[in-house]
């Protein structure tokens, strides 16, 4: 179908752009996208995945009615992009297509994040016909042995490269999601991969290395930031959350997307971003508007941050993140944030009353 053939999406993107321009190209409080984790079932056991011990939650997912309500509410808020993520949603292609239909592909830019294993030419064509627009494949380099080893699946690198090709052949946007950070900013392997992606006309959606676990204390320094800005200029096929993608000079920052891009878990909990393990509400109990209003009342999310809060803001990370290892056991924003963390006083009560069931409060 393609986004340009979706007039409702074009209208919403234009409205988003007008708001962005009016706001001095700062993302501010403008809702943009929603990442929807339908379930966490997966055929891989990747070393870096925090979901691998969570098989007991495999049966958790929102009902069709709950998904429909969420989609309608997202549409009303002007959200124009839905990013589908698992687990691996292509373990059951029919069920994924049903989810696409429930959201209504005509009203959103539809994106899938996948490990690529099941993305045959036939599956890619079915997905494109169902209204999927773009696919991000989880692949970080051309190093086949390392890729296969970290996924514990032989042949996974080959399939990921094939997936990029099959997606593009089916007429969808096809991109890879390499990780950038202090650990690889000077790595020739990264540049070899970026060259490959550019030559083959694939997109690049950067994920910043989160400074925890093996990368603890691995914050990007000024030199890494300089290199990241240079990459942005050299490789025109790249994008990252804080970059203003309307800037032809590829210099302007529109700011961190926390709450502008919501993350909804199979239990219905809502995080400000996939990398911020804090719940700001639950779609089974609250409207998406209430959740978004509450999220933006927290100053870290409501005020524009020029850097990625999760990867680059050491103070924020050390004070608020890393308390949960799972999207099924989130810390509640209502219990975590204190009066001084809110832009409008009184909003902390909304967070407390809107806590997801089972969300634990941290001990302070
Ligand atoms: S915290 Fe980082 S990854 Fe999350 S929305 Fe902000 S820029 Fe994106």
Query: What tens digit of pLDDT does each residue of 189-230 get?
Result: 999 999 999 999 999 999 998 887 777 778 889 999 999 999
CA of 120 to the centre of ligand 1 (A): 31
Contact 30, 16 (CB under 8 A): yes
Out of 276, 301, 321, give the residue to mutate to test ligand 1, the one with the largest number of ligand atoms within 8 Å of its CB. Answer: 276
User: How many angstroms separate the CA atoms of 31 and 81, rounded?
Assistant: 10
Contact 246, 30 (CB under 8 A): no
Tokens of 90: 């292509």
User: How many angstroms separate the CA atoms of 37 and 90, rounded?
Assistant: 13
Pocket of ligand 1 (CB under 6 A): 241-242, 256-258, 261, 273, 275-276, 308-311
* Residues of the chain under the 50 pLDDT cut: 349-364
pLDDT at 354: 45
Q: What is the pTM of this model?
A: 0.92
Residue nearest to atom 6 of ligand 1 (CA): 256
- Specify the ligand 1 atom closest to the Cα of 312: 2
- Residue 97, classed as helix, strand or coil, is helix
pLDDT at 255: 95
CA of 308 to the centre of ligand 1 (A): 5
| Nearest residue to 112 (alpha-carbon basis) of 50, 198, 173 | 173
pLDDT tens digits, 28-49: 999 999 999 999 888 888 777 7
CA of 257 to the centre of ligand 1 (A): 5
Beta strands in the chain (DSSP E): 33-37, 81-85, 109-114, 134-137, 173-176, 179-180, 203-205, 207-208, 238-239, 261-264, 270-271, 278-279, 331-332
Q: What angle do CA 341, 20, 345 make, to 5 degrees?
A: 20
pLDDT at 251: 94
- β-strands 278-279, 331-332 pairing: parallel
pLDDT at 351: 46
Out of 309, 313, 314, 316, give the residue to mutate to test ligand 1, the one with the largest number of ligand atoms within 8 Å of its CB. Answer: 309
CA of 114 to the centre of ligand 1 (A): 20
Backbone angles phi, psi at 342, to 5 degrees: -100, 150
Total residue length of the chain? 364
């Amino acid at each position: 179908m393609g986004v340009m053939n979706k007039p409702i999406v074009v209208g919403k993107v234009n409205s988003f752009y007008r708001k962005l321009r009016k706001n001095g190209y700062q993302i501010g409080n403008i809702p943009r996208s929603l990442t929807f984790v339908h379930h966490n079932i997966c055929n891989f056991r990747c070393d870096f995945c925090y979901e691998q011990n969570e098989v007991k939650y495999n049966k958790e997912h929102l009902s069709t009615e709950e998904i429909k309500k969420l989609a309608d509410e997202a549409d009303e808020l002007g959200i124009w992009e839905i990013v589908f993520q698992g687990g691996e949603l292509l373990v059951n292609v029919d069920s994924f297509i049903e989810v696409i239909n429930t959201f209504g592909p005509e009203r959103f830019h539809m994106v899938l994040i996948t490990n690529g294993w099941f993305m045959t030419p036939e599956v890619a064509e079915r997905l494109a016909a169902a209204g999927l627009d773009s696919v991000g494949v989880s692949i970080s380099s051309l190093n086949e042995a390392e890729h296969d080893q970290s996924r514990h699946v032989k042949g996974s690198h080959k399939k990921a490269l094939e997936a990029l090709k099959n997606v593009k052949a089916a007429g969808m946007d096809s991109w890879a999601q390499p990780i950038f950070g202090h650990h690889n900013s000077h790595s020739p392997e990264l540049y070899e991969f970026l060259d490959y992606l550019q030559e083959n006309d694939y997109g690049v959606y950067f994920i910043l290395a989160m400074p925890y676990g093996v990368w603890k204390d691995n914050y990007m320094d000024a030199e890494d930031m300089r290199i990241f800005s240079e990459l942005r200029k050299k490789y025109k096929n790249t994008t990252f959350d804080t970059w203003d993608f309307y800037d032809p000079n590829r210099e302007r920052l529109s700011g961190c997307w926390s709450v502008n891009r919501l993350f909804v878990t199979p239990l219905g909990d809502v995080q400000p971003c996939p990398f911020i393990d804090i719940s700001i509400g639950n779609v089974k109990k609250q409207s998406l508007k209430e959740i978004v209003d509450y999220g933006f009342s927290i100053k870290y999310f409501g005020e524009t941050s020029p850097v990625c809060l999760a990867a680059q803001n050491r103070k924020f990370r050390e004070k608020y993140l890393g308390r949960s290892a799972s999207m099924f056991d989130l810390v509640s924003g209502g219990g975590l944030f204190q009066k001084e963390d809110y832009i409008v006083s009184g909003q902390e009560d909304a967070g407390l009353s809107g806590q997801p069931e089972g969300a634990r409060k941290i001990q302070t």
